[in-house]
Amino acid sequence: MKISIYQMEITPGKPAENQQKVKAWVEKEVKHSKPDIIVLPEMWTTSYTLEEIHHYADDHGKTIIPFLQDTAKTFEINIIGGSFANKMDEKVYNTAVVINRKGEVVYQYSKVHLVPMLNEPQYLTAGQKVPEIFELEGVKMGLIICYDLRFTEIIRPLALEGAEVLFVVAEWPTPRLNHWKNIQITRAIENQMFVVSCNNVGSYQNVTYGGCSMVVNPWGDTLLEGSTDEEETLSVSIDVEETKTAREQVPVFTSRVPHLYKQGL
């Protein structure tokens, strides 16, 4: 399975410009490396322009979702469509979307953990449903948004339901890059799955986003890591069978004793 990650420099508050940029990138990337799946970052249409987010947000995803569907169909690729500011009933959500090669929406998720360090709770509304698994190319996968990475509670159930790849779409700032990198490796090891992340680069209102998009295998080895400050493309081929091998050799899932674990924590 070939994956291309767009470690993008987002132009703040310019959804149309960012769409054009993504379109041009996909066209080039499809010609260059023919990926099965492409991955975009969090809030890639607007970045964290939260003070004006009601103005820039897409009404029920009416622009962004058809744009991604059309892109997926035209280039016959699966899209982990990052996330976008999604206005629903006068509230704005941070919503991620997954589209398959046929242009069908296979999954949609609104971020449940809003990040206080970037003032999200002040401007956005939290989703009320934790992530669920979805399938692309017959493989079970999960998708979380940035700050969600810190909450192992929502990631373990995905692995228990058979997810072999976890996508993380992000706008993660530089001061906590050591957390970003180490938690991804931890999630990959503890859940014995691939972790594939897409972070952005660039700055807005004194916050600098730190790149380091990553691909980590189920053993916790980092297969690929982006730079901290360059817009770039990361391309990788992963063999999802490695998840099965890791789970056979270190049988964490069969060694679990869930009846002893505290429920609801």
Q: Which residue is nearest to ligand LYUYDEPV (CB)?
A: 146
Per CB under 6 A, 147 contacts ligand LYUYDEPV: yes
- Catalytic pick from 42, 120, 164, 171? 42
- Catalytic pick from 21, 29, 87, 111? 111
Between CA 155 and CA 166 the distance in angstroms is 8
Between CA 35 and CA 30 the distance in angstroms is 6
Between CA 185 and CA 96 the distance in angstroms is 22
* List 68, 143, 144, 146, residue binding ligand LYUYDEPV (CB under 6 A): 146
Q: Can you say whether the dihedral through the CA atoms of 153, 159, 163, 167 is positive or negative?
A: positive
Total site size for ligand LYUYDEPV, rule CB under 6 A: 13
Per CB under 6 A, 204 contacts ligand LYUYDEPV: no
Q: Is 9 a catalytic residue?
A: no
* Per-residue binder mask for ligand LYUYDEPV (CB under 6 A), 113-132, x = binder: --x-xx--------------
* Per-residue binder mask for ligand LYUYDEPV (CB under 6 A), 22-61, x = binder: --------------------x-------------------
Nearest to 199 by CA among 184, 220, 186, 188: 184
Q: Is 171 a catalytic residue?
A: no
Q: Is 31 a catalytic residue?
A: no
User: Contact positions toward ligand LYUYDEPV, by CB under 6 A?
Assistant: 42, 115, 117-118, 146-147, 150, 170-173, 176, 179
What residues are labeled active site? 42, 111, 146
